[in-house]
C-alpha cells in the first residue's frame, strides 16, 4: 500500500507527541497499518490522512450504514448467492463430496419489493442454488460496491478493501401469484435485466422453468470499509426493514455524485 514518505514522516513526528485514535481490535478489523491510523493533533480534529472517498473521518453510525446498505441493495443487479448442498447427494451429476458444503454462485437480483429490503430473484429450477434452497438450505447473498465504483468513476479505487460490501442471510420464499401481479414483479425485474424475458415464469417460450422468489432477510453483515473509518458489524434487522426509499435515495456511496 502506497503512502508518501513526507506524509509518513509527518505522521511519525506527530505520533511522538499526540495520542492516536483508539481502535477497537476486539472484532474483525480491516484497518490500515499503524502508520495509516487517523491522527489527531492537539489543536485540531482534522485528520492527517484523508482519501477522496471519505473526506472526513466521522465514522457513520450503524443506522447511517444501514441506509447505505439499503442503497447498495437497491443499486445492485447481481450478487453472489450462497446455498448449502443437502447432507446426501442423490444426483449422478453432482459429486458426492460436495454434500453439506456451501456453494456461492453469482446471480441476477433486483430490488422489486422496495421498501421491504428483501431482494427479488428469478430462481430457475435447474439451477444449483434453487435446488439447494428447495431442499431446505438457508441462503446468503453477498453484494459489493467494487464493480459499480469502477463503472461510475472510470478508475480503480485506491483500495477496494475500503469500499462497502455486505452479506444478507435468510431464506428463499416463493411469491404468490397475487404478490407477483400486484407488485409488478416481472416488469420490475425485466427492466433491470432485459434478457430475463427469456426465462419469465409461466411463459411457454421460457427456456427454463423459473420461480419468482424473495430472499427473506433475517440478518445483514456490513463491512463499510476500513474499520477505523467505517462501521463493520451486524445491522439491526428491524432497522434494515424500516429504511424508506426516500432515505436511501438521499445518501451516496463512494464515487457517486
CA distances from 135 to 43, 103, 107 (A): 61, 14, 19
Name the minimum Å distance from CB 137 to ligand NAG: 6
Name the minimum Å distance from CB 213 to ligand NAG: 16
Name the minimum Å distance from CB 138 to ligand NAG: 4
- Of the pair 136, 202, the CB lying nearest ligand NAG is at 136
- Of the pair 138, 242, the CB lying nearest ligand NAG is at 138
Site for ligand NAG in 117-156 (CB under 6 A): 135-138
Name the minimum Å distance from CB 91 to ligand NAG: 9
The yes or no reply on residue 92 touching ligand NAG (CB under 6 A) is no
Distance from C-alpha of 236 to C-alpha of 230, rounded to nearest angstrom: 16
Q: Give yes or no for a contact between 175 and 234, defined as CB atoms under 8 angstroms apart.
A: no
Decide: helix, strand or coil at residue 153.
Answer: helix
The yes or no reply on residue 242 touching ligand NAG (CB under 6 A) is no
- Of the pair 19, 90, the CB lying nearest ligand NAG is at 90
CA distances from 152 to 45, 85, 156 (A): 32, 36, 10
- Of the pair 88, 92, the CB lying nearest ligand NAG is at 88
Q: Give yes or no for a contact between 141 and 81, defined as CB atoms under 8 angstroms apart.
A: yes
Q: Give yes or no for a contact between 73 and 113, defined as CB atoms under 8 angstroms apart.
A: no
- What are the residues binding ligand NAG (CB under 6 A)? 86, 88, 90, 135-138
Amino acid at each position: 500500500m502506497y503512502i508518501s514518505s513526507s506524509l509518513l514522516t509527518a505522521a511519525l513526528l506527530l505520533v511522538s507527541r499526540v495520542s492516536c485514535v483508539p481502535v477497537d481490535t476486539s472484532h474483525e478489523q480491516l484497518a490500515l497499518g499503524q502508520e495509516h491510523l487517523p491522527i489527531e493533533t492537539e489543536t485540531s480534529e482534522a485528520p492527517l490522512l484523508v482519501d477522496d472517498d471519505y473526506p472526513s473521518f466521522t465514522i457513520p453510525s450503524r443506522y447511517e450504514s444501514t441506509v447505505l446498505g439499503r442503497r447498495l441493495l437497491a443499486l445492485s443487479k447481481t450478487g453472489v448467492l450462497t446455498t448449502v448442498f443437502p447432507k446426501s447427494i442423490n444426483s449422478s451429476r453432482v459429486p458426492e463430496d460436495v454434500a453439506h458444503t456451501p456453494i456461492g454462485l453469482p446471480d441476477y437480483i433486483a430490488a422489486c419489493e422496495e421498501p421491504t429490503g428483501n431482494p427479488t430473484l428469478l430462481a430457475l429450477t435447474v439451477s444449483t442454488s434453487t435446488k439447494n434452497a428447495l431442499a431446505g438450505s438457508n441462503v446468503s447473498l453477498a453484494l459489493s460496491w467494487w464493480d459499480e465504483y469502477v463503472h461510475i468513476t472510470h478508475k480503480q479505487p485506491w483500495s477496494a478493501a475500503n469500499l462497502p460490501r455486505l452479506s444478507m442471510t435468510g431464506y428463499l420464499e416463493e411469491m404468490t401469484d397475487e404478490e407477483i401481479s400486484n407488485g409488478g414483479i416481472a416488469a420490475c425485474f425485466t427492466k433491470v435485466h432485459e434478457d430475463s424475458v427469456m426465462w419469465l415464469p409461466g411463459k411457454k417460450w421460457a427456456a427454463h422453468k423459473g420461480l419468482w422468489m424473495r430472499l427473506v432477510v433475517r440478518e445483514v453483515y456490513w463491512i463499510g470499509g476500513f474499520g477505523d473509518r467505517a462501521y463493520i458489524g451486524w445491522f439491526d434487522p428491524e432497522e434494515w426493514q424500516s429504511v424508506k426509499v426516500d432515505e436511501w435515495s438521499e445518501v451516496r456511496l463512494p464515487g457517486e455524485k
